[in-house]
Each structure stands twice: as C-alpha cells, then as structure tokens.
Amino acid sequence: MDQQLARAEQGVRELRATRNDRWYPKFHIAARAGWINDPNGLCHFNDRYQVYFQHHPYSSDWGPMHWGHVSSADLVTWRREPIAMAPSVAEDRDGVFSGSAVVSDEHELLVYFTGHRWRNGVDEDDGNLQVQCLAVSKDGITFEKQGTVVECPDGLMHFRDPKVWRTGDRGYMIFGACSPDNRGEVWLYTSDDMRDWTFDRVLYRDPDPHTFMLECPDLFPLGDKWVLTYCPMGRRPKKYRARNRHNAGYVVGTWSPGEEFRPLTEYRPIDWGANYYAPQSFQAPDGRRLMLAWMGSFGIPAASQLTDGWSGQMTVHRELTLGDDNRLIAVPIAELTQLRTATHDFGLVAMGPNETRTLAENVDAAEVEIDIDLAGSTAERVGLAINKTPDGHETLVGYDDLARRVFVDRRNSGHGNRGYRAAPCSSGRVKLRVLVDRGSVEVFVNDGAETVSSLIFAADGPRSIELYTECGDATIPRLVVHRLGSIWEDAR
Ligand code: FRU
C-alpha cells in the first residue's frame, strides 16, 4: 500500500495548493483538500482520539475511497495525520469503504471496513461486490490489511459499513444490507477472536417498503436502552422529514447478546438539517457516548466542491444521552467551549416589532446562545441573520411561531443549494445554541432535544450576525455571542 499512499499524499498536496478558504471550516474536521464523506474508525487509542474518514485525495468529488486521518489529545486541537489506507488489494480495488475500530487486548487497533469493487470494474451499472475486511495497526498511523473476514452472499448488491464492538469477551459486528427482496436490513455477526465471524441473525429490517438499504448502522447502549442509528436509502419525503437525498435516523429499543433487538420507538430523524449523514459513535475513556457525522452532499454538489478544491466536513463532536421519552439528546461536547476567544454578553434584550440589530461584525466562526421568552413575545418569527454580507445575502436561523419550529432558511445564503429545514419546537420553550463556521451552521434546540445542521456558503465580503423580529416584538432573556478559534494544530 506504501506506493498508493505516497501517491495519494502527493495528490492532496497538489490540491491543497489550490484550496480556497472562504468556506473552509475553522472548527470542524475536514481534509486538507479533496473530498470527504463518512467518519470511520472513531476511537481513543494511544492516548489520542482518532478520527478516520472516507476520503478522495485526488479531487473534490467522490472517487476511489481512501481513509483520511486526524487525531487529537483533547478533542479541541487536531493534528493532520498521513492518509491511513488506500485501495491496494483485490477486494478493495475500487474503494476502502466505511468501517469502525476496536482496540484489541494486545493493544492493537483493529479496523473493520468494506472492501468495495464494481462488478464490471468501472462503475455501478452492474452492481457492487462488497465484503467486510480487517486491517490492523500498532500505532494508528500505518495499517496492515488482513483480507476478508465476511464474504457477501451471492447476488447481494449492498453489503457494507461494519460497526464492531465488544460486549464481554465476544465481538459483535453489524452492517447494512439490501435483502434479496430489496429491503433495508441490519445484519449481525459475532466472533470469539475478532477474526472469525459467524452470521448470527438479521437484527433489524426497516418497516418502510421503499427503503432498500441501511447505510452506516450503529448500535450502542445509552442507560438501559440500545440505540440503533442508520441511514435509510430510498425513504420518501414526508412533511418535514426525509427531505434530503440522504437522511439519518434512529430507533430506540432493548438488546442483549444473543437476543433480538426489540424497538420501543418508531424511526425518527437524528437531525433535521440539509446535511447530516453517516453518523458514527464511540465511547470516550470517561464513559461519554460521542457522535460525529458527515456534513456533505452526494446530490447537488456543495459550492466548495465546484471551485474551492475541497468538499465535506464533520459536525462537531456531540455528546449523546437519552431523554425520558426515549429521545436522543445531542449537545456539543463540553470541550468546545475552550475554542471561545472573545465573548459579548448582551444580557436581557427587548426587541420591538420588525426590528433588526447587529450583534457582531466580521465574523467567520462564532457561537450564539439565545433564549426566547415566548410568553413575553408576540413576534411571528424571531432569530438571527447569519453570514449577512454587504450585498444583502444572509442565512436565517430562528423560531417560527406559526409552524412552532426552529428553522434554517438558505433561500438567500449566497451560493450553493437553497432550501428550508426545520425541527419541531412546540414545548413553549426556545433555547438555541447556534454554531456558525465559515461554511456551515449547527443549531442545538432546547439543550439538544433537536438539532438542525446545514452547509451554508456565504456571498463575498465581511459577514455579520444580526438579530431580527417579524410581525411582533420579542423578549430575549439571554443573548451571548462568542467568537471561536481554530481547531488545527498548524495552519496546513
Ligand atoms: C455512505 C457511504 C457508505 C460507503 C461509503 C463510500 O455515505 O455510501 O455506505 O461505505 O459512503 O464512500
């Protein structure tokens, strides 16, 4: 693989020289240049948090997949690492697809991934040939491929994205499959030595008849429940749901080794934004369940993909808990507050009807905390205009009292895909944390009860943040704007 990796590093160096940084993230993980999608192999190994990701180092479009790599001692400052894996053997000839990592008793990093081939050797027209593979590393940097550990039954088109964990002294592996009758399923395999894997059962089948594949499944405990997350392919849009070409959701249930997974809830979106896909979780050494997802686009290209030499970024790391109503709660990890470089506390703010107020100018990365007192407000919409540029472009983030939703409206963002996305917010309480990076926004509603994450590509010029009301006034008991610094150890 050494030769392929050296070539890939050269490819990314060349692209890096052309990278335009107007939308390049300051506090979200992204590749130096080129394309990225799913987070892979998330773990804490050798005293560092390791994040691998699907990566095409030769262009800002999807292509033969490599595993890119960054690492961090503290989840705040990140170091670029060499590309970890490239297509190099027969079974991953056309791509080292998504997968996960576990640390062995011998203190090696075991990564399980999908080796991908096009059946016709060129494209998807005649389908895929996908198998689950193992690679082993002593340092998390260089990997030795060990070949296939799970073969694909004859004729199955989609068979990928292993997520592996250990419970007691057994290994468990789930991945997504398209059944012979074209339905999306999660398959479970088990192993006593992490090398020989045996089919256990079809753990889950999505009830939606249009859903033909469940990409990137994950199954993890929260309290006394288990959460199954996955990305259904084929879901049809319904009202505010499944509006993206690629959607991610979850089901909460019970599970224990040797048992069925028994759902207690219906499928629900994890995030309501335009760009949230392929989430993967892992357990931090202190016991927290953390999750990372890809913000990108397979359909309409991201604006940066067309002109700027890079495409795709991760969300921030989110800490997960389960609410009393079995709702997945996701908040930015506590470490994120260390990125704050300057803070302006506006205290209590009273806004008149149809008023606009500038909160911050020349902003590239910021966090806004805003509570809205609905009982003391009559506004139909109240919120923030972020990425406001001198030519009048802006993205709106706020609360809509007619729909009782928190929205991100990209109608007038500047570049890239438009569209409106909104999360339910009918509790009578509106408390938002809004993370604004150069090319994205993540909104956390009511302490993580809902989230809305979308890429946004601002127009040219300095960007400001405004507060606004529409058709009524607003009482805002808390309003704080923090500027945020960079996560990168060096500027590369
Ligand atoms: C999801 C996905 C995975 C696959 C990978 C390929 O985004 O399609 O199913 O392993 O991306 O890059």
Nearest to 110 by CA among 166, 175, 54: 166
- Mean pLDDT is lowest, of 29-38, 83-92, 293-302, 455-464, for 293-302
What pLDDT, on the 0 to 100 scale, is given for residue 155?
86
Ligand 1, closest atom to CA 114? 10
Summarised one tens digit per residue, pLDDT across range 301-320 is 999 999 999 999 999 999 99
What pLDDT, on the 0 to 100 scale, is given for residue 125?
86
- Choice from 54, 186, 211, 311 to test ligand 1 binding pocket (greatest atom count within 8 A of CB): 54
Q: Is 163 in the pocket of ligand 1 (CB under 6 A)?
A: no
Average pLDDT of the residues in 89-107: 97
Nearest to 226 by CA among 192, 203, 195: 203
Ligand 1, closest atom to CA 38? 7
What pLDDT, on the 0 to 100 scale, is given for residue 1?
78
What pLDDT, on the 0 to 100 scale, is given for residue 124?
86
Using a cut of 0.75, tell me whether the model's pTM lies above it. yes
User: Phi-psi category of 98—alpha, beta or left, where left has phi over 0 and alpha has psi -120 to 50?
Assistant: beta
Catalytic member of 21, 38, 92, 181? 38
Q: Is 160 in the pocket of ligand 1 (CB under 6 A)?
A: yes
Summarised one tens digit per residue, pLDDT across range 242-256 is 999 999 999 999 999
Q: Is 94 in the pocket of ligand 1 (CB under 6 A)?
A: no
Residue at 346: amino acid letter: F
User: Is it the case that residue 332 has pLDDT exceeding 80?
Assistant: yes
Q: DSSP states of 199-231 as a string?
A: EEEEEEE-S-TT--EEEEEEEEEETTEEEEEEE
What pLDDT, on the 0 to 100 scale, is given for residue 171?
98
Average pLDDT of the residues in 436-460: 98
SS3 state at 490: coil
Ligand 1 mean position, distance from CA 38 (Å):
7
Work out the pLDDT band at 491, boundaries 50, 70, 90: low
Active site annotation includes 38: yes
What are the two backbone dihedrals, phi and then psi, of residue 334, each rounded to the nearest 5 degrees? -60, -30
User: Is it the case that residue 377 has pLDDT exceeding 70?
Assistant: yes
| Distance, CA of 210 to CA of 369 (rounded, Å) | 39
* Residues 79 and 72 sit within 8 Å (Cβ to Cβ): yes
Ligand 1, closest atom to CA 62? 12
pLDDT over 90 percentage in the chain: 95
| Distance, CA of 260 to CA of 91 (rounded, Å) | 31
Average pLDDT, the chain: 97
Ligand 1, closest atom to CA 298? 7
Ligand 1 mean position, distance from CA 278 (Å):
8
* Residues 320 and 35 sit within 8 Å (Cβ to Cβ): no
User: Is it the case that residue 492 has pLDDT exceeding 70?
Assistant: no
- Mean pLDDT is lowest, of 82-91, 122-131, 309-318, 390-399, for 122-131
Summarised one tens digit per residue, pLDDT across range 191-228 is 999 999 999 999 999 999 999 999 999 999 999 999 99
* Residues 187 and 174 sit within 8 Å (Cβ to Cβ): yes
Average pLDDT of the residues in 13-35: 97
Ligand 1 mean position, distance from CA 257 (Å):
27
What pLDDT, on the 0 to 100 scale, is given for residue 426?
86
Summarised one tens digit per residue, pLDDT across range 264-280 is 999 999 999 999 999 99
What pLDDT, on the 0 to 100 scale, is given for residue 304?
93
| Distance, CA of 228 to CA of 253 (rounded, Å) | 8
What pLDDT, on the 0 to 100 scale, is given for residue 160?
98
Strand 349-351 relative to strand 474-484, pairing: antiparallel
Work out the pLDDT band at 299, boundaries 50, 70, 90: confident
